Amino acid sequence: MSAWQKHLDENIEEILIDEQMLAKRVNELAKEISAAYQTLDIDELVVIGVLRGSVIFMSDLIRRLILPVTIDFLAISSYTKGTRTSGTVRILKDIAESITDKHVLVIEDIVDTGLTLQCLLDLLGARRPKSLKICTLLDKPTRRLVDLEADYVGFQIPDKFVVGYGLDYEGHYRQVPYIGVLKPEAYQ
């Protein structure tokens, strides 16, 4: 057993969503999103990934969309070191292209309190896109502090600290191919 595998075995409490479940749900979301936007007969869909957590999910999702897409990225943070939001949202990297009069789909890794996503929606909405929708891999509705729902949700999960498939703890665990619950002693 490698040192990395031993580390995972010691620090992952449980696998919440395995690789097969992820692949199946990403395929379902891609079909749902493709069908919804095909009815609009759009020229292109601008897909904006929220860095860094959404990258793996977004990559898998856009390869399965049956639509013309362009991609862009932004980085926004409300976390400092640790597992809880700081309450202050910072734009670390903005998108490069205009989204005015374009159909926009924002890809998030997880919607927790909703505060960061609300800030993001306000920021992008002020740029007058033709439509603005949110797709999130994970949703923790029990933690929501604002009245906000994503348009497309991969999985609703309980209030547990999760890593893998792009989600991290202090930059680590993003490459884990499943969604796992991190043991509290690993981050406290």
Residue 139 lies in a domain: yes
Residue 63 lies in a domain: yes
**Non-local CB neighbours of 64 within 8 Å, separated by 6+ positions:** 26, 27, 30, 31, 34
Two tokens at 127?
């740029």
| Residues known to be catalytic | 112
| Bridge partners, 46 (sequence order) | 70, 104
Based on the structure, what is the number of domains in the chain?
A: 1
Q: Is 44 helix (H, G, I), strand (E, B) or coil?
A: coil
Residue 6 lies in a domain: no
pLDDT for 60 equals 98
Q: What is the pTM of this model?
A: 0.91
What is the spatial distance between Cα 42 and Cα 67, in angstroms, rounded to a whole number?
8
What is the spatial distance between Cα 170 and Cα 127, in angstroms, rounded to a whole number?
32
Residue 56 lies in a domain: yes
pLDDT for 99 equals 97
pLDDT for 8 equals 81
Summarize pLDDT for 58-68 with one digit per residue, the tens: 999 999 999 99
For residue 103, give its domain range. Answer: 18-158
Summarize pLDDT for 81-123 with one digit per residue, the tens: 555 555 677 889 999 999 999 999 999 999 998 888 898 999 9
Residue 69 lies in a domain: yes
Residue 88 lies in a domain: yes
For helices 55-62 and 19-38, give the axis angle rounded to 10 degrees. 60
Residue 8 lies in a domain: no
Q: How far is CA 57 from CA 51, 105, 186, in A?
A: 11, 13, 24
CATH code (residue 93): 3.40.50.2020
Summarize pLDDT for 121-164 with one digit per residue, the tens: 999 999 999 999 999 999 999 989 999 999 999 999 999 999 99
Strands 152-156 and 162-163: unpaired
Residue 13 lies in a domain: no
